[in-house]
Amino acid sequence: MMPLLMLDLDNTLVDRDAAFRAAVQAFLAEHGLPDADLRWVMTVDAGGYTPRHDVAAAVADRYGALVPTGAIGALLDHGAADRVVLARSSREALSTARADGWTCVVVTNGRTAQQEAKIRTAGLDRLVQGWVISEGVGHKKPQPEIFHAAAEAVGVSLSRAWVIGDSPHADIAGADALGLRSVWVSAGRPWTHDSYQPTHMADDVASAISYAIAAPG
């Protein structure tokens, strides 16, 4: 039976925050807004966890007539999606996993159009066997249904699956609830949760993939 890697997208496979930061910088420059507002926008966005309509409302309220509504929508819908990059080390790790017989599937929360745009911009559509997006399946991580949907999408059992992601709540708690092994992509952060633990911690997704595919069983 083929083993399964279920991989988070934002700030795991791709640096979504860096892409969005670059988009915000361009947005501020285009509309003659203060460079110092970069920090404010990033704080409101909260790594993509603030609902889109709330971010849009906050930005519109702050800038009023200085910025057209369409420009705000473009920033939120396409800013990060048009700029995400897949690191060479991540590309190589995914290629190695597939060569070793692993099935790789992206499991991400978010809106379908935006998340699929990121997947295609980064070239992940040519490296993974499939993906599931919360809007499309009607369930969000850490709900078990989205992980089951991911396994069904690629026709592989969850029995030997690993979950790799940067979110303790969405990724690691989701894996723990299903009894799955997991790697937390820490990016240097400390683990602060006592009620559940990842199987392993790694600084980046390439190291996480390498660990999972080399683990016994």
Instruction: Spell out a b/e string for 1-28, using b for 16 or more CB atoms within 10 Å of the CB, else e.
Output: eebbbbbbbbbbbbbbbebbbbbbeebb
Domain match, 105 and 149 both: yes
pTM: 0.94
Name the band, by pLDDT with cuts 50, 70 and 90, for residue 22: very high
Domain match, 126 and 196 both: yes
Name the band, by pLDDT with cuts 50, 70 and 90, for residue 112: very high
pLDDT at 2 over 90: no
Domain match, 34 and 57 both: yes
Calpha distance 29→35 (Å, rounded): 7
C-alpha closest to that of 86 among 55, 121, 53: 121
Domain match, 90 and 74 both: no
Contact 199, 182 (CB under 8 A): yes
Question: What integer best gives the mean pLDDT of the chain?
Answer: 97
Q: What pLDDT does 66 receive?
A: 94
Domain match, 59 and 113 both: no
C-alpha closest to that of 9 among 179, 128, 138: 128
- Average pLDDT of span 39-44: 98
Q: What pLDDT does 76 receive?
A: 96
Q: Is the dihedral of CA 62, 66, 72, 75 positive or negative?
A: negative
- Average pLDDT of span 103-119: 97
Domain match, 97 and 162 both: yes
Domain match, 104 and 162 both: yes
pLDDT digits (tens, 9 = 90+) for 126-175: 999 999 999 999 999 999 999 999 999 999 999 999 999 999 999 999 99
Domain match, 131 and 73 both: no
Of 78, 105, 130, which marks where a domain is finished? 78
The two three-digit tokens of residue 15, written as one number: 């640096």
Domain that holds residue 58: 16-78
- Average pLDDT of span 29-56: 96
Calpha distance 18→193 (Å, rounded): 26
Number of H helices, E strands in the chain: 10, 6
- Average pLDDT of span 9-22: 98
Q: What is the CATH number of the domain that holds 136?
A: 3.40.50.1000
User: How many independent structural domains does the chain possess?
Assistant: 2
